[in-house]
């Protein structure tokens, strides 16, 4: 008779093999060019875009951290449920605009769009540096998530270093060979796995433990009512502030679509309708956070507790005597969440580093760019793997603060696409001022008024600086600006 | 339906959404009972807005797609 952990390992192995197969196959159709590697020849259809946005946005943080938050901080987790579509809805109009200029001028990254409107080499370098800085802790967390899950469900037979190494070895192989096409098609598979498993477990666990979702919440309401109303608790168990909760929703909504690995997919979409429909369908993916939170709440009244709240999901799964098959599938779901975000990050990080950080300063031909991107995928993977093995709490904190930085990309990008009077010095000084204020309040958290998120404080300085400096300076090339905005607007009158 | 009005309506809807899930708009709805579909009311309230976003965006897309066709 096979040991339980061996059966689970086989399921995980199967899942990884399928993912690898899909990833390698995907690249066969993509052209051998930078546009092919970074933007998938601008050919992604609705199905792929839907799952890219869904599966990429909801990472290991949502799949493992979401239940962890619901379990330890209660309704504080509801902020994660609130912001997704708020951030995506404007994309219905912004996305097609970005895609039009991307097609016309050949952009494949966010900074290229920005610099296409505001020519400045320091600006592209700044964007590249901020992107890579925000990505490294993010990738590290995804790798750790994968390693932890595998270690937990195999009773430690496959330790963290090996589990994370296997999962991300596979990610790196398919990202290296197939570029964004692999990211797209594997995310489709991973997205389906995530959705099915979250909904199944979210209904199954409370049924098994309490007799139903309503019965579970009735019991929690009787014993721990403070967990069920916003803004919930802080990590240390005190009440969270409304200021902190509300601005966490705001800064996430403002920043979410500006994450380079998501924004860049506007350039990968086949046509404008695909982008629009992706936005329309997005809420249906987002609702999968409901079962994810239910899973976390299911652990609240459990007599034992895991060492760390983030492990509540594997902890519950392992202690509720579930069949090995269910445990294996859960693990596949968690790996999907981790890998679907990790692959997009590695790919986008390397693309941005080459396109925005190196190419503007040193001439590279198409082939050299692709070679360099692959080396950088490897390098970023290696750095993140190193941190994943020797990491402390600081990375989680870094990730949360990177949202504040990413939110600072919103004013320049919106100005580039909509505001005629914006100038290069205006955008540059706004971005610098906003990032500086965000970082200052990140390190001096106790100085924040009303517990407001540092990213919101950054924006409160960023936007006036952008507007005032723009109005005080002149656009050196108004003809070019007009042309750019006309392209963004497209031919259709209704997009005015 | 007029594209301009639908856009204004959508903008208004998402503005109300923001207000309804943050302080102070959330306060009147921030309660446990009644449980709806088994969920605490506070959680159901947010999920309801997410679901309504889907309906609003479907409407927006219908109207915008119609207007784009007329243009061509």
Structure confidence by residue, pLDDT tens digits, A137-192: 888 888 988 888 888 888 889 998 999 999 999 989 888 888 888 888 888 888 88
Using 50, 70 and 90 to split pLDDT, how confident is the model at A491?
low
Option in B21, B47, B57 nearest A290 (CB): B47
CA–CA gap between residue A189 and residue A20 (Å, rounded) = 11
Q: Say whether B42 and A493 touch across the interface (CB within 8 A).
A: no
Using a CB-CB cut-off of 8 Å, the residues of chain B touching A284 are 54
Q: Return the pLDDT at A57.
A: 78
Q: Say whether B39 and A213 touch across the interface (CB within 8 A).
A: yes
Using a CB-CB cut-off of 8 Å, the residues of chain B touching A86 are 14, 17-18, 53
Using a CB-CB cut-off of 8 Å, the residues of chain A touching B36 are none
Does the structure show a pLDDT above 80 at A327?
Answer: yes
Distances in Å between the Cα of A16 and the Cα atoms of A6, A10, A124, A143, A186 are 15, 10, 37, 14, 11
Cα angle B55, B57, B62 (rounded to 5 degrees) comes to 100
> Is pLDDT larger for residue B71 or for residue B10?
B10
Q: Which of A158-162, A192-196, A330-334, A427-431 has the highest mean pLDDT?
A: A427-431
Q: Return the pLDDT at A397.
A: 64
Helix (H, G, I), strand (E, B) or coil at A431: helix
Using a CB-CB cut-off of 8 Å, the residues of chain B touching A81 are 43, 46-47, 50
Query: What token pair was written down for A179?
Result: 């570029």
Q: Return the pLDDT at A395.
A: 57
* Nearest residue in chain B measured CA to CA from A297: B39
Does the structure show a pLDDT above 60 at A1?
Answer: no
Min Cα separation B69/chain A (Å): 9
Q: Return the pLDDT at A493.
A: 42
Q: Do residues A130 and A432 touch, judged by C-beta distance below 8 A?
A: no
B48 touches chain A (CB under 8 A): no
**Tens of pLDDT, residues A363-372:** 788 888 888 8
Q: Say whether A212 and B38 touch across the interface (CB within 8 A).
A: yes
Option in A78, A218, A276 nearest B35 (CB): A218
Q: Do residues A139 and A445 touch, judged by C-beta distance below 8 A?
A: no
Using 50, 70 and 90 to split pLDDT, how confident is the model at A495?
very low
CA–CA gap between residue A80 and residue A96 (Å, rounded) = 26
Chain A residues near any Cβ of chain B (below 8 Å): 75, 78, 81-82, 84-86, 89, 92, 212-218, 221, 225, 228-231, 242-243, 245-246, 249-250, 253, 273, 276-277, 279-281, 283-284, 286-287, 290, 293, 491-494
* Nearest residue in chain B measured CA to CA from A247: B22
Q: Return the pLDDT at A91.
A: 93
Q: Do residues A289 and A95 touch, judged by C-beta distance below 8 A?
A: no
Does the structure show a pLDDT above 90 at B54?
Answer: yes
Q: Return the pLDDT at A494.
A: 40
Using a CB-CB cut-off of 8 Å, the residues of chain B touching A82 are 21-22, 46, 49-50
Model confidence, pTM:
0.90
Lowest mean pLDDT among A44-53, A190-199, A387-396, A440-449: A387-396
**Tens of pLDDT, residues A226-256:** 999 999 998 888 899 999 999 999 999 998 8
Helix (H, G, I), strand (E, B) or coil at A2: coil
Does the structure show a pLDDT above 80 at A469?
Answer: yes
Query: What token pair was written down for A3?
Result: 């040991």
Q: What is the mean pLDDT of chain A?
A: 87
Q: Identify the residue among A97, A228, A241 best suited for mutation to test binding to B, counting B beta carbons within 10 A and taking the highest.
A: A228
Helix (H, G, I), strand (E, B) or coil at A233: strand
Using a CB-CB cut-off of 8 Å, the residues of chain A touching B58 are 280
Q: Say whether A212 and B53 touch across the interface (CB within 8 A).
A: no
**Tens of pLDDT, residues A299-321:** 888 877 777 676 777 777 777 77
Q: Which residues pair with A239 in a beta bridge?
A: A233
**Tens of pLDDT, residues A278-293:** 999 999 989 989 999 9
Q: Return the pLDDT at A443.
A: 85
What is the total residue count of chain B? 72
**Tens of pLDDT, residues A25-48:** 887 777 778 888 888 888 888 888
């Amino acid at each position: 008779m096979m040991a339980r952990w061996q059966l689970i390992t086989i399921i995980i192995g199967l899942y990884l093999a399928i993912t690898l197969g899909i990833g390698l196959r995907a690249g066969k159709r993509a052209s051998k060019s930078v546009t092919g590697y970074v933007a998938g020849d601008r050919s992604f259809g609705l199905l792929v875009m839907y799952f890219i946005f869904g599966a990429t946005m909801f990472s290991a943080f949502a799949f493992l951290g979401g239940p962890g938050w619901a379990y330890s901080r209660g309704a504080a987790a509801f902020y994660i449920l609130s912001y997704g579509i708020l951030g995506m809805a404007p994309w219905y109009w912004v996305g097609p605009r970005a895609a039009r200029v991307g097609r016309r001028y050949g952009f494949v990254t966010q900074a290229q769009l920005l610099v296409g409107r505001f020519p400045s080499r320091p600006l592209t370098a700044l964007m590249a540096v901020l992107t890579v800085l925000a990505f490294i802790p993010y990738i590290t967390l995804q790798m750790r998530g994968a390693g932890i899950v595998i270690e937990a469900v195999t009773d430690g037979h496959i330790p963290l270093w090996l589990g994370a190494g296997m999962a991300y070895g596979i990610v790196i192989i398919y990202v290296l060979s197939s570029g964004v096409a692999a990211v797209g098609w594997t995310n489709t598979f991973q997205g389906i796995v995530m959705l099915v498993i979250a909904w199944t477990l979210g209904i199954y666990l409370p049924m098994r433990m309490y007799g139903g979702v309503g019965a579970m919440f009735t019991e929690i309401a009787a014993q721990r009512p403070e967990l069920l109303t916003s803004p919930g608790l802080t990590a240390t168990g005190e009440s969270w502030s409304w200021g902190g909760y509300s601005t966490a929703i705001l800064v996430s909504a403002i920043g979410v679509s500006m994450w380079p690995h998501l924004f860049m997919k506007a350039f990968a979409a086949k046509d404008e309708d695909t982008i629009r429909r992706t936005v329309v369908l997005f809420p249906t993916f987002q609702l999968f956070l409901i079962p994810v939170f239910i899973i976390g709440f299911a652990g609240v009244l459990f007599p034992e507790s895991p060492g760390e709240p983030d492990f509540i999901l594997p902890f519950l799964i392992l202690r509720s005597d579930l069949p090995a098959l269910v445990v294996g599938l859960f693990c596949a779901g968690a790996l999907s969440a981790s890998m679907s975000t990790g692959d997009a990050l590695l790919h986008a990080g390397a693309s941005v580093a080459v396109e925005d950080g190196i190419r503007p300063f040193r001439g590279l031909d198409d082939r050299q760019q692709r070679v360099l991107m692959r080396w950088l995928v490897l390098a970023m993977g290696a750095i993140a793997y190193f941190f994943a093995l020797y990491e402390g709490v600081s990375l989680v904190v870094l990730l949360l603060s990177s949202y504040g930085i990413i939110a600072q990309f919103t004013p320049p990008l919106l100005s580039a696409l909509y505001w005629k009077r914006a100038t290069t010095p205006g955008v540059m000084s706004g971005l610098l001022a906003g990032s500086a204020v965000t970082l200052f309040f990140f390190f001096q958290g106790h100085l924040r008024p009303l517990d407001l998120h540092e990213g919101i404080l950054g924006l409160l300085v960023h936007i006036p600086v952008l507007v005032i400096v723009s109005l005080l300076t002149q656009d050196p090339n108004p003809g070019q600006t007009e042309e750019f905005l006309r392209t963004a607007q497209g031919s259709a009158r209704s997009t005015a | 339906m007029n594209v301009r009005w639908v856009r204004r309506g959508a903008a208004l809807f998402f503005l109300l959404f923001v207000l309804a899930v943050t302080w102070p708009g959330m306060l009147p709805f921030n309660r446990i009972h009644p449980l709806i579909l088994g969920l605490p009311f506070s959680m159901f309230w947010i999920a309801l807005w997410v679901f309504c976003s889907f309906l609003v965006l479907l409407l927006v897309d219908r109207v915008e797609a119609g207007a784009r066709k007329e243009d061509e």
